[in-house]
Structure 1
Amino acid sequence: MTTEWKLFADLAEHAGDRHVTVDASSGDTVEDALEQLLEGRPDLEDRVLEDGALRSQINVLRNGTNVLVEEEGLETELDDGDELALFPPVSGG
């Protein structure tokens, strides 16, 4: 099973692409998919993680739902066909 990440704003620049597909297995979590996304992308990892943990201002969505607020966080299990997204902080003005 594969899962696609959509990356927004400067996160796409750090990853080198706006869409990244990772391999995921049944029972894998959002955290597993995030680890695969960050593997081999040190610039993106530095932008998303701080001391090995997700930076508080980074938003992680699964099928449009913020997993950090409305689901089980990074421990949310993936289903086939899930779409994941990473958003940097959003500011208005």
Structure 2
Amino acid sequence: MLVVFRAYGPVRDVVGSKTVDRELPPGATLEDLLTGLLEEHPDLTDLLCADGDVGDAVSLTVDGVNVSRLDGLETTLSAGDEVRAAPPIHGG
């Protein structure tokens, strides 16, 4: 199944591209996607991970829903899902 990873800000700087397409097996999770990206781009670790979970240096969403409102790293992905990693937005 094809999943799209969109990178913004410092994540895009590390990945070198705004969009990365990934072919994953059915039933793959967000953790599966991120593990592959971290293997290719180890510098993403500090941006995406903290203590074995999703860090707060960037906001991770699946189809517009923050993964903290889903199942975190265990969020199951589906074909056509769009995962975004962007700096968090703070209001004021």
TM-score (normalizing by structure 2)? 0.83
1 CA distance for matches of 2:48 and 2:11? Answer: 8
Q: 1:49 to 1:21 in 2, by over 3 A?
A: same
1 CA distance for matches of 2:50 and 2:74? Answer: 18
Q: Tell me the amino acid that sits aligned with residue 26 of structure 2.
A: S
Report the equivalent of 2:2: 2
Q: Secondary structure at the match of 2:89?
A: coil
Report the equivalent of 2:83: 84
Q: Secondary structure at the match of 2:4?
A: strand
2 CA distance for matches of 1:51 and 1:78? Answer: 22
Q: Secondary structure at the match of 1:84?
A: strand
2 CA distance for matches of 1:65 and 1:23? Answer: 21
Which consecutive unaligned segments of at least 5 residues does structure 1 have? none
Residues 1-93 of structure 1: matches in 2 within 5 Å? 1-69=1-69, 71-91=70-90
Q: What is the RMSD computed on CA atoms of the aligned residues?
A: 1.8
- CA deviations on 1:29-64 (whole Å, 9 max, x unpaired) are 111111112222022223222354332342211111
2 CA distance for matches of 1:51 and 1:65? Answer: 22
Q: 1:43 to 1:23 in 2, by over 3 A?
A: same
Deviation at 1:92, TM superposition (A): 5.4
Which consecutive unaligned segments of at least 5 residues does structure 2 have? none
Q: 1:82 to 1:76 in 2, by over 3 A?
A: same
Aligned length: 92
2 CA distance for matches of 1:19 and 1:13? Answer: 12
